[in-house]
Amino acid sequence: MRSVLVLSALILAGFALSFAVSEYTLRLLNMAVIAAVAVIGLNFAFGYAGLISLGHSAFVGLGAYGLAILTTKADWSPWLAAIPAVAGTGLAAAALGYPLLRLKGHYLALATLGLNVSFSIVASNWIELTGGTNGIAQIPGLTLAGYKLDGEQTFLWFGLAVLALLGLAALAIHASRLGRAMMAVRDDETAAAMTGIDVTGVSVTAFVLSAIYAAIAGCLFAAHVHFVSPDDFNYAHSITFLSMLIVGGEGSVAGAIVGAALLTFLPEWLRVLGEGYLAFFGLMMLAILVFLPTGIAGLLRRWRRPALPPQDTAAGLDGAVSR
Amino acid sequence: MIAATQNALSATGITKRFGGLVALADVDLTVGNGEFVALIGPNGAGKSTLLNVLTGLSAPTAGRIALDGRDVTRLPTHRRIRAGLGRTFQHGRLFPRLSVVENIMTGAANRAGRGEAGLRAHALAQLRRMGLERLADQPISALSYGNRRMVELTRVLACEPRVLLLDEPAAGLNLGEVEDLMARLRAIRAEDRIAVVLIEHNMGMVMRLAERVVVLNFGRKIAEGTPAEVQADPAVLAAYLGEGAAHAGR
Amino acid sequence: MADLIQLLTNGLALGSVYALAAIGFVIVYSATGVVNFAAGQFVMLGTFAGVATLVNAGWPLPVGYAGALALMALFGLLFYAVVYLPLGRSPVVTIIIGTVAIGITLQNAALLTFGSWPFRLPSPVEGMMLEVAGAVIPVHAVAVVVATAVLIGLMWLLLNRTALGIAMRAVAQDAKTARLMGLRVNALLAFTWVLAAVLAGIAGLMLGPMWFADVNMGDPIALKAFAATIIGGFGSLPGAIAGGLFVGLAEVLGASYVSSAYKDLIAFGAMILFLLLRPQGVFGERIQDRG
């Protein structure tokens, strides 16, 4: 219940901000909302099931390119195009997940990184389909019940509604037997199998859910910016998504949203520092990782419930690390 | 012992090699319906390896495993659990990010058809039966070692197994907790008629609970019989004396 | 034939640079368990340390090289203190993000210092060409291959024949026991970082005359070093060398015979295939997952 309240508060805060800020900030807020959708997705794979994916941006890209190609080359409506774009991405994740998810830790990280790089190479060079490095322009925007969602403010309202729905869905999954199974798999695969959980099946499901959220974020991106190019989905964005999740606090939907917003705005705020702002950004990230290893959500959890007794067994230590 | 027409668990000719090392050599283990079997042997005798093979964590080099007459040799672990096998670990492995009741619910989820509320009710009922309901909403990190092991036992019981494999359930427990554990195991057997395979170094516990004892040494079965028979077996004595005083303190 | 000789030489030279980058990555991983995503920036810094001493300061070659490598050694020490010490015991994801973050800082610091214009780093054998069976090949490429072979030999001697190297391997295998044996574990770990930085520095100095030195060159090098490491076998030094040479050759030959657009797909495709079919790589003995 508390997580639903926090989610509602975040959505309302975004809605309130939409009346108070400049066009430029509105654009950043839209970017933050789109990133938040992708990061909530990544939270299924990493935050719940513990799968380190550095290829999340490729799934965002698959969704975005799917929508872009179907709307510009086949003249589909973006609403209709989003369905095969998202479903196709989910299928691709399932097909990749079965062989790939036997890998763990940094092996999985490097495999998914390789996948993202391969996606970028194909997107840059399959010119007939993707337009190569020039990308695809003039992607039509969304129209809802006769209203065009083409202004930054109206698009933000729509984006917030999507974010609210997907956030609620994520919370519902978190509290379901699938959610418990994902967390059990991350905590201890062997013990999870020993309670009858299909470890491979649950991992692939988490990966597919994360890809579906990523593809929805990609569709939002394509419909908002009206333009996609390979650079929008390179592996650096995958690392950014993972950073957002860690900074916000993995394992938490609200943390995913806060992390996405913070890392969207932080570089902009640091611009006042002049040319070297990205150097400061890197150092700040390092400081956050060192001083807030459980992210912002973890910090708030500790304030709320300060007196957890220390864990006294080896199993407890493992838990503390993955927490 | 009542002769069962069909064994709850039957493992035949189990052999496990790691490279050149033979961890298990042609071991047979059968457990009748509701029977209580203890599996003993010095450290390194292959007891845990046998549990790993039975539960599908490692594949046997040769041999066949059947649950209720159904061949499960090639099934993955989770399918064996759903087919009625249950196991606890030497040091109790719980999911630290889930609360006590949620841990139990992962086990209960094997029996399909219970909605979320039903799962919770079933898990709470299991906790109540074990006298642990006051811990239901605690995080795992708040539990004592003894309680962790009892919660793990509750979780496996929530899977409603037909055969329960217990890997040193008394290790690390104090005397009072061991007595409590033994009383619970007796009660569970009386109520559920679950067949039990117990690995335990605590010989007092083995002698008081087991109907039949199987002794492993160097990956081979060296003796099998009632507790009294096994205690008198010279091969068993030799195996344990050979290990010196390692278990004197237990 | 002449073309092939030329391509093979260039491929081996590029592969040597990747191999050195991969070796730096591997010795750090084996000794400290850190998956260093800033490894590519280490090579970039090596190139720019050369730009600072040879181009900007105009020092003569031997002095300039020594100065650049001394800067890299200092950088390795700084990285040990500022990044490894606070972050080294974190979960693997935190380490990945942390090293990426510090990589962003390094790249941006280089951009601020040197600007975005590419530099041309001189070679001691600038402009010299060699004719072999009708093929004209740059002496620099041959020198890179030879220098890398010599370095690998020295590394082997260091790790197998000196007390320092044997102590390093002891720490890599079991830091706790090594500490009990009285080894100065922290000093050895620091030395590992210094060694990795110096190797990356040499790679950067050799790469400088082959590519234009550009502050964005780190990422592609890191990706190739990762691919080399996986193909050769994670944590294996011979694997890093073989993997590096394979990736370099695949890039150069692939660009010429397959497609310059898809040349990099060979290395990454091979990396993913290896991960799926033989995750221990060519030389790895078994997966030792520290994640």
Domain residues for C270? 2-136+187-277
- Contact call for A114 and C91, based on CB within 8 A: no
Per-residue pLDDT band for B241 (boundaries 50, 70, 90) equals low
Interface test with A, best of C79, C82, C108 (most A CBs within 10 A): C108
Q: State the total domains in chain C.
A: 1
What average pLDDT score do residues A155-180 get?
95
Rounded to a whole number, what is the distance in angstroms from the first to the last CA of chain B? 29
Percent of chain A residues topping a pLDDT of 70: 94
What average pLDDT score do residues C131-145 get?
88
Per-residue pLDDT band for A201 (boundaries 50, 70, 90) equals very high
Question: Domain B9-93+161-247 is classified in which CATH homologous superfamily?
Answer: P-loop containing nucleotide triphosphate hydrolases (3.40.50.300)
Give per-residue pLDDT as tens, A128-152: 999 998 999 999 998 888 888 888 9
Q: Which chain B residue has its CA at the smallest distance from A311's CA?
A: B141
**A274 interfacial to chain C (CB closer than 8 Å):** no
Residues of A in contact with B102 (CB under 8 A): 180
Per-residue pLDDT band for B242 (boundaries 50, 70, 90) equals low
**C265 interfacial to chain A (CB closer than 8 Å):** yes
Pairwise CA distance, residues B104 & B98, whole Å: 9
Which member of A103, A276, A277 has the closest CB to residue C279?
A103
- The interaxial angle of helices C218-232 and C2-32, nearest 10 deg, is 80
pLDDT value at residue B245: 41
Which member of A105, A109, A289 has the closest CB to residue C90?
A289
Per-residue pLDDT band for A233 (boundaries 50, 70, 90) equals very high
What average pLDDT score do residues C182-193 get?
89
Domain ranges of chain B: 9-93+161-247
What average pLDDT score do residues A216-241 get?
94
Q: Does residue C257 sit within a domain? A: yes
- Which of A303-312, B19-28, C192-201, C223-232 is predicted least confidently? A303-312
Name subunits touching C (3+ CB pairs < 8 A).
A
Whether the per-residue pLDDT at A271 is higher than 60: the answer is yes
Strand partners, C162: none
Pairwise CA distance, residues C31 & C193, whole Å: 9
- Which of A293-307, B77-91, C90-104 is predicted least confidently? A293-307
For C276: left if phi > 0, alpha if psi spans -120 to 50, otherwise beta; the answer is alpha
Q: Does residue C202 sit within a domain? A: yes
Percent of chain A residues topping a pLDDT of 90: 67
Burial of C58 from C-beta contacts in 10 A (0-12 / 13-18 / 19+) = exposed
What average pLDDT score do residues C260-264 get?
81
pLDDT value at residue B214: 93
Edge-to-edge order in the sheet of strand B36-40: B85-88, B163-167, B195-199, B36-40, B212-217, B220-225
Question: Is B250 or C133 the better-scoring residue by pLDDT?
Answer: C133
pLDDT value at residue B248: 42
Whether the per-residue pLDDT at A36 is higher than 80: the answer is yes
**A46 interfacial to chain C (CB closer than 8 Å):** yes
Look over chain B and give the mean of its residue pLDDT values, rounded to a whole number. 87
Q: Does residue C160 sit within a domain? A: no
Report the sign of the C-alpha dihedral through residues B187, B189, B194, B198, in that order.
Answer: positive
Whether the per-residue pLDDT at B247 is higher than 60: the answer is no
Whether the per-residue pLDDT at B3 is higher than 60: the answer is no
Whether the per-residue pLDDT at A252 is higher than 50: the answer is yes
Strand partners, B24: B16
**A282 interfacial to chain B (CB closer than 8 Å):** no
- Which of A302-311, B221-230, C180-189, C206-215 is predicted least confidently? A302-311
Residue A213's nearest CA partner among A88, A60, A83 is A60
Give per-residue pLDDT as tens, C32-78: 888 899 999 999 999 999 999 998 998 998 999 999 999 999 999 99
Whether the per-residue pLDDT at A316 is higher than 50: the answer is no
- Which of B40-49, B104-113, C1-10, C50-59 is predicted least confidently? B104-113
Rounded to a whole number, what is the distance in angstroms from the first to the last CA of chain A? 21
Give per-residue pLDDT as tens, B112-139: 667 888 899 999 999 998 889 899 999 9
pLDDT value at residue A305: 58
Question: Is C31 or A310 the better-scoring residue by pLDDT?
Answer: C31
